[in-house]
A = this chain, B = another copy of it.
Amino acid sequence: MPDSNAILLVSCQDRPGLVAEVAGFMHQQGCNITRVDQSVDVEHGAFRMRMAIEKGEPDLDRSTFLEALSRLCERHGMASTLHFGEERSRLAILCTREPHCLHDILQRHESGELECEIPIVISNHETLRPTAEFFGIPFLHIPVDPATRAESEGRLQSALEEHGIDLMVLARYMQVLSPEFVEGWRNRIINIHHSFLPAFAGASPYRQAHERGVKLIGATAHYVTAELDAGPIISQQVIDCSHRDGVVELTRKGRDVERTTLARAVRCHLDRKLLVQGDQVVVFE
């Protein structure tokens, strides 16, 4: 049983009595509920709930608790995950040459803003090694070459396993991962795309935005799926622009939005505020 705070995420078809069942169970187990956010997607009849609980009786062990929870979920057809507060996520950051997103995440991490471990920064270039090392994070260079992509992904996978990684953050990582790799990390890779998706998917979104003459540019943080730029959207932000902004200014403005949008998505993931239902991300905020 939980000896500290924990977050329960539940997803299933809606049916009467689910909240009462789960709340009653927690009470029985001696756990106190400190926060509930529950709703139903009426159009699809989908039930979703995030419940924060606090440690209960000290004489019940965690495996007994988990087993009981598992039986409850099975009985009601609920898909659930339980995250204990002391199990800190282990995050790998992948980057290429642009420093702003990497820098931003490492600086937030250092300031205590992100509840996680960051055991490794991985890049297909050496450029950002000093940045990682300034923050005391080991840096791994895995060159990527179209001819040997499979081999690179093998090295990447090994490194992630070796460091016990739970979440990959693509902080302007300019390489496409194979569908097989992505499938193995379903809902555990967050990417930042530098446009307001679905507008300007693909390469050079700032150039596309400039040519179309839009008056706002944006950034989109999303889970990565096999289909490029089409994964479930976690967070989006925009910023004003005008005819005076050339591609250089749009790129500069965009960097600010990219950083905060990516950071917000990562924080929500770490705080167990995200739940993927169908093609959508439920953001419990």
Contact = CB atoms under 8 A, between A and B. Distances in A.
B215 A233 contact: yes
B42 A246 contact: yes
Contacts of A181: none
Interface residues of A, number: 69
B246 A233 contact: no
* Copies per complex of this chain: 4
A152 interface: no
Given A111-B99, A198-B200, A214 B233 contact: yes
Given A23-B20, A27-B17, A216-B218, A40 B34 contact: yes
Contacts of A256: 260, 263
Contact of A40 (B35, B130, B134, B247): B35
9 contacts: A19-B33, A100-B111, A196-B216, A197-B199, A198-B199, A212-B233, A212-B279, A215-B234, A216-B218
Ranked nearest first, the 4 interchain pairs of A and B with the lowest CB-CB distance are A213-B280, A20-B27, A199-B199, A23-B23
